[in-house]
Amino acid sequence: MGGVSGHAGLFSTAGDLLLFAREIVRGRKGEGRVLSRPSAVRMTTRVAQPAGCPRTLGLDTPTPPRSSPKKDLPGKTPCSQAGALASPDAVGHLGYTGCSMWIDPVRETSIILLTNRVVFGSDNRKLSALRPRIHDVVWKEIAG
């Protein structure tokens, strides 16, 4: 990209995202190489202000299910994009093109999903229903 640029996404590889996720997990345990200071760990694992904000200072957190069904998911009460089985301690990022990364520092696990939702047009909403199901399959396997 040749320097500083604004964009609507996360540009990386699965391997590099895994290194990033591992650093967050290690940092929370005080073993991080980059996130070794407690303040840096809190920035990536604790909800930011104002109260009720569903994000940390840099990442998203799992949201509780909504009480009313969303138009693109008829008849279903949508859960967090992290999945219904995501730990409340999980943090992550959702990209416009459907990519997602969720990190659970307690389970010491991360899920990285790299996709291209807009390949069939920018109105494609099918991944919104599929993404939490994929995450839940992984969370369930990890839990045993």
Please report whether residue 37 resides in a domain. Answer: yes
Q: Provide the number of structural domains found in the chain.
A: 1
What CATH number is given to the structural domain containing 107?
3.40.710.10
What pTM was estimated for this model as a whole?
Answer: 0.79
**What pLDDT, on the 0 to 100 scale, is given for residue 136?**
94
Distance CA 104, CA 128 (A): 20
Distance CA 93, CA 78 (A): 18
Please compute Rg for the chain using Cα positions.
16
Query: Model confidence over 94-135: pLDDT tens digits?
Result: 888 888 999 998 899 999 999 888 888 888 778 888 899 999
CA-to-CA separations, 110 to 18, 93, 114, 123, in angstroms, rounded: 7, 11, 13, 28
Which residues neighbour 68 within 8 Å (Cβ) at sequence distance 6 or greater? Answer: 77
Please report whether residue 29 resides in a domain. Answer: yes
Domain that holds residue 51: 14-143
Please report whether residue 9 resides in a domain. Answer: no
Please report whether residue 6 resides in a domain. Answer: no
Please report whether residue 8 resides in a domain. Answer: no
Please report whether residue 40 resides in a domain. Answer: yes
